[in-house]
Amino acid sequence: MKPKLVFVGGFLGSGKTTLLLRVGEMLVNEHGRRVVMVTNDQGEVLVDSLTVKDYGFETAEVIRGCYCCNFQVFINHAQRILEELKPDVILAEPVGSCAGLMPTLYAPIKEFYSSDFELSPLIVVVDASRILQLHQEVNLLDSGDPIAFLIASQIREGEVICVNKIDLVDDSTTLEALNLLRKIRPEADFILTSAKLNVGVEKVVDIILGGASKGLPYPDIDMVKYTEAELQLSWFDGLYEIKPRRDFNPKAFIEDFLKEVGRQIEKLNGFIAHVKAYLRTSMGVFKASITSEHNVDLSELKNVKHPGSGIFLVNARVKLNPEELNKAINIALEIEEVKYNVNFSKIRSESFRPKPPKPQFYIPYSKD
């Protein structure tokens, strides 16, 4: 039997990684499947990769660009995984600013690698607590705004759409978000999920194990608008060694740091797509993130038995120029370094705009 290849897309900060971890755990623990995860980002040092490894999953990385622009790199990783690890399921999370997965990934894989993999339906994750606010700010149904175009394009190609983070909203807000998404992509199947509370995860697993991609119609992607959206966002990646005091409070530190990042970016009139931080000390391992709402989502990775040396990793994706983003992060670090009396030693950091997307393949939808 061919291994399942599952792509889970969606905008930055929608909860894709947490959902994938819950799905992976259920596939392993309740269905006895061997699971490997492939992470992806524009940078080189990824919070997601460390988190996935801490949960005990075998993992591979595609860095410095999305899967579609590094198609052969992704295929090489996937084929190596097949040979060395012999998985039942490969879970792959594209960059959160990536759209056009159907013409640039699904169609080429079906065309050239159908003997290697069985493609599961394309899953797109949407943040129920955020999508309505974004729709109010920039009409997702008909907007010339590049970021709105990007988000709507992701939704319009989903075969299964997970309306995620329903634990953060009431039932009426969930229904309103669901109605909006049905207007954007009426052909899709919808699942209400809370990755944090494990709600709806079993339904996602059933979709993955139940069958192949349906081959639903998907729209062409306007590469000019897509490029505009990509170039509005800057990336920051920073890796630091951290030396805390004995009375250091890691939870308070990582939460205060992200709140300060939010304040600094707000001063510059920036828009936070997603900022993630990963903290590993002898006191434990913590992951936290914020989006444009500045609410910190914090979790402790309690199953990590050997935290090892102290490291701090920051991945930020923000609508600012790279210099301003770099300044905002560094100011936040300096403030929290003094406040918590810790010492940071920079191992590496960079702030940049991604290159314009240039997919290796683009195969438009065809009924044939």
Question: Mind listing the domains of the chain with CATH numbers?
Answer: 4-228 (3.40.50.300), 234-352 (3.30.70.1130)
pLDDT at 45: 82
Q: Give CA separation, 247 vs 239, 250, 306, in Å.
A: 23, 9, 20
What was the pLDDT predicted at 270?
A: 96
Report how far residue 232's alpha carbon sits from residue 348's, in angstroms, rounded to the nearest whole number.
24
pLDDT score of 308: 57
CA distance 350 to 30: 41
Give pLDDT, residue 65: 87
Alpha carbon separation from 7 to 30, 43, 71, 148, 181 (Å, rounded): 21, 20, 13, 22, 19
User: Cα–Cα distance between 153 and 341 in angstroms, integer?
Assistant: 45
Contacting residues for 83 by C-beta, under 8 A, at least 6 apart: none
Q: Going by DSSP bridges, is the β-strand pair 284-290/271-281 parallel, antiparallel, or unpaired?
A: antiparallel
For residues 278 and 316, the answer to whether their CB atoms sit within 8 Å is no
Q: Note the pLDDT of residue 368.
A: 65
- Among candidate residues 158, 286, 209, the one with its CA nearest the CA of residue 35: 209
Per DSSP, 121 falls in state: P
DSSP states of 170-191: -HHHHHHHHHHHHHH-TTSEEE
The span from the CA of 207 to the CA of 15, in Å, is 18
- pLDDT, position 300: 87
| CA distance linking residue 65 with residue 42, whole number of Å | 4
d(C-alpha 59, C-alpha 24), whole Å: 12
> For residue 16, with 0-12 CB atoms within 10 Å meaning exposed, 13-18 middle and 19 or more buried, which class applies?
buried
β-sheet with 234-243: strand ranges across: 297-300, 284-290, 271-281, 311-319, 234-243, 343-352
Please give the chain's pLDDT, 368 residues, in tens: 899 999 999 999 999 999 999 999 999 999 999 999 999 988 888 899 999 999 999 999 998 889 999 999 999 999 999 999 999 999 999 999 999 999 999 999 999 999 999 999 999 999 999 999 999 988 999 878 999 999 999 999 999 999 999 999 999 999 999 999 999 999 999 999 999 999 999 999 999 999 899 999 999 999 999 999 999 999 999 999 998 877 899 999 999 999 999 999 999 999 999 999 999 988 889 999 999 867 899 988 876 555 556 999 999 999 999 999 999 999 999 999 999 999 889 999 999 999 999 999 999 998 76
Q: How confident is the model at residue 39, as a pLDDT?
A: 94
Q: How many CB atoms lie within 10 A of CB 25?
A: 18
| Torsion angle in degrees (nearest 10) through CA of 195, 201, 204, 210 | 160
The per-residue pLDDT for 309 is: 64
Q: Which two tokens stand for residue 44?
A: 């080189």
